[in-house]
Structures are given as C-alpha cells and as structure tokens.
Amino acid sequence: MNRIALRGDLLDFSTDPGFGPPDAVPGVRWRPDHWLLVDEHGRIAGVLDASVSEPDASYRRIDQRGRLILPGFIDTHVHSPQLDVIASYGTELLDWLETYTFPAERRHADPQVARAGAERFCDALLAHGTTAAVVFPTVHKQSCEALFTSANARGMRLIAGKCLMDRHVPEWLADTVESAERDSLELIERWHGKDRLAYAMTVRFAPTSSEAQMDMAGRLLCEVPGLYMQTHVAENRAEVAWVRELFPQARSYLDVYHRHGLLNERAVLAHGIWLDDEDRALLAASGAQIAHSPTSNLFLGSGLIGWQALEAAGAKVTMATDVGGGTSLSMLRTLAEAYKVQALQGVRLSAWKALHSATAGAADALGLGHEIGRLEPGLMADLCVWDWARAEIDANRLALARGLHEKLFAWMTLADERHLAAAYVAGTARFERTTIAP
Ligand code: GUN
Ligand code: ZN
C-alpha cells in the first residue's frame, strides 16, 4: 500500500477521563486540523499540526478538513448471526432466546448461510465505524470459520470462538464436550494468532454448558497462550435465579465461572447488571471486564448497570452493542443510550468517558493498547472519519454549543452510522460513503 496522510480534527484519549465533570478531565487529546500520517505498513507514522507543517511528497493527501477523525470503534460483545433477529418484539432474555434467537442461529449450520452472514456482518461493522470486535458466531464450527475468513479478508482485528452449549438448548443446536473441544482446537490451530485474529473460548452462558464443558474451556485457557474467554453474566433476573438453581454450590453467578477457571484478564463478560460487592471485587482481582450493552439492556428490559460501582471496585467496563439483543450496530447510538442508562441512576456520563470506553478503554482492557484504540505513532491505522452533522437542524445545534465537550456530546447523541464518511483498517479504506444519506 501507499503512504497516506489524512487531514481533519483528531480526537483520542491518552488515559481514562473517568466520571469527573467534563471540563476538568485528564486524558483528552484534541488536535483540530492536523495531519495523521500512515506508513506503507498501515501503521500510524506521525501527527502534524496543519497550521505549521505538511506531509512530505511520499504521502498521498486525503483532505477531510472539517471532519472528525477518531480511532475505529471497538465493540466488545456482539453476535454475528443475530443481525437476523434484531428488533424482535415482546420478550425478555430467556423467552427471546427460545423464540427468536435459537431458530435464527440454527440456519447457520448451512455453510452457505454462514458465509453470506459473516460477509454481511463484517461489512456492516465497518459501515457503522467499528473496526474491531469481540464476536459470538453460532455453535457451528463453520459459522466461526466463516467469521474469521471474512474478518481476515478485511484485515480486521477480531476475537471470536465457536459457541459452547451442550445442555438446555434444542438438540439441533447442541454440541458435546468432545465435539466442542475438537472443534475449538481445530479453529485455534487455524486462526488463533493468525494476522489480526485471536480465539476466544466462548461459553454461551452458564445455564447452557455442563460443568464438564466449562472445565474443558478452563483447561484450554490454561494450555493455549493468549486465548480470550467470552460469555454472558448476570443479565436478567430470571436468568440469575436459574443459575442459582443449577449451581447451588456457587456463591454467585460470576462465581460459577471463577470455579471453572474462566476468569482472567482476557475474559469478556457481557452485561454484569445483577452483581454484588464480592462479584465486583472478583472481577477486579481477576482482571476480567464487563462488556456493557445498553441498547440490549433497555430493549430486553434487563436492567441498569452500576458502571460507577464497578469502576470504583477496580473492575473494567467496556462498550458493546450486543446485537441482536441490542438494537443497533452503531457504537454512537450505543453511547447515547449508555448516557441515558446512567442518567436514570443520577450519574452523568461525559462524552469523553463514553468515547474513551469504546476506543482506548476497550483496547487497554483487551490488552491491545499497543495496537489499536489511539491515534499514536506505531499503532495500526484503524480509524474513522465522521461528519459532525448531516442535517441542518443538527448543524445548527452544534453551532450553538458552548465549548468542545458540549459540541461533542451533542454529536455523540445525535449522530449515527449515516455520519460515517470513511473507515480505514490498517490504513486501507474499507468503507467509503458514496451516496448521500437522507
Ligand atoms: N445469554 C445467553 N445467550 C445470549 C444471547 O445470545 N444474547 C444475550 N443478550 N444474552 C444471552
Ligand atoms: Zn450477548
């Protein structure tokens, strides 16, 4: 590839801005009208203030003046086959799984469906400004295979693993301990550590794995360096009660995973709404993170996450869409809902904190801060170019903002994927808006 230089308003975060008032936070790096230099290997080579210098002739210039340039978003929990059930009416988690989700996932047993679905999903992520993700495909090996193939073809940083689920699911969607281990090992062999991909042991959730299956997952986590773990925890009250019945010996839902050796600094647990102090301390001690999924938590009526309490205990929280429980692949819409989830609890989520959690915060939590999440020399050029406003009323609102935070907060709340002008993965444009959105 050629060297490129992008000109625009650069925003990223050196450290976590925290929950403080927006005018007094650390870590915000705002560099209006700068050049971002990308080398021939797709890495960020430098940043230049456009008012004082310009790129040398070896860079192809791409002038995005007046647009915002952010690191690509990182979605830490999303289900690739569930684009097909997004916006399904009238159910809570357990009923939603039975009624809509399991039948939709069944279709991915067909390799052609799996392949077409994976292509559609990866293109959709990029078209929403998400360049890296932690993803659940289905129980089927070919679904995971298709997902890695599609992500790799686009050069994406993707973490995924075939779903483990050997009980309390329809027999047409169940694996066994043996088949799960065999399929996981084959997929690990093919994909873990290949280019920008990593494998995650993917325990769907405690109710759908036998103790033997969770033990197997815990053993592989110990045996294979760098594996991630992903699952769900404490999302819905009926689910929590079911786990209590199934695992009477465990102190809590989270403790089930702990007992099977599934919690470590590369563990990503979606939701984490119904937790107590001991759970929060366990998350902090293990280094595991909670993938907060506000559109899903509101849509499925699951509850309101105690984000501040988690962070006060030292636990990590990142941001996720959880499509198809979640209602949009847009991390901007997700952040806007996250603000409302906190507002309902009397907590104010600044645009700084929100945007950090979906970029540098997620990168750090995944142990990938050396590769993605910031606009810094040496990191991969995974980044997105955004319009500030697409409609006159929004432009008018932004023009009335008093100060940068107010403007950015209004943008975060009003914008969505239609504001995305381009998405770059490792310096290559993988999405460019060509049509005028309404
Ligand atoms: N718990 C177990 N499976 C799922 C799923 O597919 N989506 C959500 N939101 N929660 C789950
Ligand atoms: Zn989920």
Q: Per-residue pLDDT tens for 377-392? A: 999 999 999 999 999 9
Burial label, 351 (beta-carbon count in 10 A; 0-12, 13-18, 19+): buried
| 199 bridge partner residues | 160
pLDDT number for residue 25: 85
pLDDT number for residue 352: 98
What is the dihedral sign for C-alpha 322, 325, 329, 335?
A: negative
Contact 67, 388 (CB under 8 A): yes
Average pLDDT over residues 335-352: 98
Q: Note the Cα 217 to chain centre separation in Å.
A: 22
Contacts of 209 by beta carbon, 8 Å cutoff, 6+ apart: 164, 165, 166, 167, 203, 217
Q: How far apart are CA 201 and CA 159, in angstroms?
A: 10
Average pLDDT over residues 280-289: 98
Average pLDDT over residues 240-257: 98
Q: How far apart are CA 76 and CA 71, in angstroms?
A: 15
Alpha-carbon distances of 410 from 21, 350, 351, 366, 419, rounded to whole Å: 16, 11, 9, 29, 13
Please work out, in degrees rounded to the nearest 5, the angle formed at the alpha carbon of residue 371 by the alpha carbons of 404 and 293: 60
Q: Which domains does the chain have, with CATH numbers?
A: 3-72+375-432 (2.30.40.10), 73-329 (3.20.20.140)
Average pLDDT over residues 231-258: 98
pLDDT, tens digit, for every residue of 72-95? 999 999 999 999 999 999 999 999
Kindly provide the residue ranges of all beta strands, DSSP E only, lying in 329-413, ordered along the sequence. Answer: 383-386
Name the nearest CA neighbour of 214 among 250, 164, 173, 151. Answer: 164
Q: Is 334 in the pocket of ligand 1 (CB under 6 A)?
A: no
Q: Is 97 in the pocket of ligand 1 (CB under 6 A)?
A: yes
Q: Which two tokens stand for residue 236?
A: 């819905």
Contact 12, 372 (CB under 8 A): no
Give the model's confidence band at 436: pLDDT under 50 very low, under 70 low, under 90 confident, else very high. low
pLDDT, tens digit, for every residue of 169-184? 999 999 999 999 999 9
Contact 7, 33 (CB under 8 A): yes
Residue 345 phi/psi, 5-degree rounding, is -110, 10
Residue 113 phi/psi, 5-degree rounding, is -65, -45
Q: How far is the CA of 295 from the centre of ligand 2 (A)?
A: 11
Give the model's confidence band at 248: pLDDT under 50 very low, under 70 low, under 90 confident, else very high. very high
Q: Is 101 in the pocket of ligand 1 (CB under 6 A)?
A: yes
DSSP 8-state assignment for residue 304: -
Average pLDDT over residues 393-412: 97
pLDDT number for residue 285: 98
Q: How far apart are CA 22 and CA 338, in angstroms?
A: 16
Give the model's confidence band at 297: pLDDT under 50 very low, under 70 low, under 90 confident, else very high. very high
Q: Is 79 in the pocket of ligand 1 (CB under 6 A)?
A: yes
Across the chain, mean pLDDT equals: 97
- Mutate which of 75, 76, 97 for ligand 1 pocket (most atoms within 8 A of beta carbon): 97
State which ligand 1 atom lies nearest to the alpha carbon of 239: 1
pLDDT, tens digit, for every residue of 105-156? 999 999 999 999 999 999 999 999 999 999 999 999 999 999 999 999 999 9
Q: How far is the CA of 216 from the centre of ligand 1 (A)?
A: 21
Three-state DSSP string of 3-69: EEEEEEEEEEECCCCCCCCHHHCCCEEEEEEEEEEECCCCEEEEEEECCCCCCCCCEEEEEEEEEEE
Q: Is 205 in the pocket of ligand 1 (CB under 6 A)?
A: yes
Q: Which two tokens stand for residue 355?
A: 């945007």
Strands 197-203 and 163-164, sheet pairing:
parallel
pLDDT number for residue 9: 98
Residue 76 phi/psi, 5-degree rounding, is -90, 5
Give the model's confidence band at 435: pLDDT under 50 very low, under 70 low, under 90 confident, else very high. low
Q: Is 363 in the pocket of ligand 1 (CB under 6 A)?
A: no
- Whether residue 320 is predicted with pLDDT greater than 50 in this model: the reply is yes
Has the ipTM of the complex gone over 0.90?
yes
- Whether residue 437 is predicted with pLDDT greater than 70 in this model: the reply is no
Q: How far is the CA of 298 from the centre of ligand 2 (A)?
A: 13
Q: How far is the CA of 150 from the centre of ligand 2 (A)?
A: 21
pLDDT number for residue 438: 45
- Whether residue 240 is predicted with pLDDT greater than 80 in this model: the reply is yes
Three-state DSSP state, 287: coil
Strands 289-292 and 228-233, sheet pairing:
unpaired
Q: How far apart are the two ends of the chain, measured CA to CA in Å?
A: 33
State which ligand 1 atom lies nearest to the alpha carbon of 302: 9
pLDDT number for residue 26: 87
Average pLDDT over residues 418-435: 95
Q: How far apart are CA 76 and CA 268, in angstroms?
A: 7
- Whether residue 1 is predicted with pLDDT greater than 80 in this model: the reply is no
What count of Cα atoms within 13 Å lies in the side-chain half-sphere of residue 211? 9
